[in-house]
Amino acid sequence: MVLAVNFKADTVDEESNLMDITMRTLDIMGNKISEDCLNFSDYCLTVETDKTGLLDVSKLDSCYEYGYKAVINEISNIKNVIKKFK
């Protein structure tokens, strides 16, 4: 059984700077590469990142919270997928 975690890509808007646009470009490239892997997973949990950069350790606690909330919101679905494999 494979449970995958996907981090939601940030949107680019009129307030975005060059770094935001560059990171979004990398997100798109990375998502294209990982699409095949995600297709092989039995369940994919998508976690909001709120424009947290890869090396932005100051938002680490917020990221834990986003992941926790994503699991809580999807816990019923996750349990149902796990039950199929017992």
- Summarize pLDDT for 16-42 with one digit per residue, the tens: 888 777 877 877 777 777 777 777 888
Domain coordinates in residue numbering, the chain: 3-84
Q: Any idea of the CA torsion for 54, 59, 61, 63, to the nearest 10 degrees?
A: -50
pLDDT at 65: 93
pLDDT at 83: 92
Helix (H) or strand (E) holding 25: helix 18-39
d(CA 10, CA 21): 9
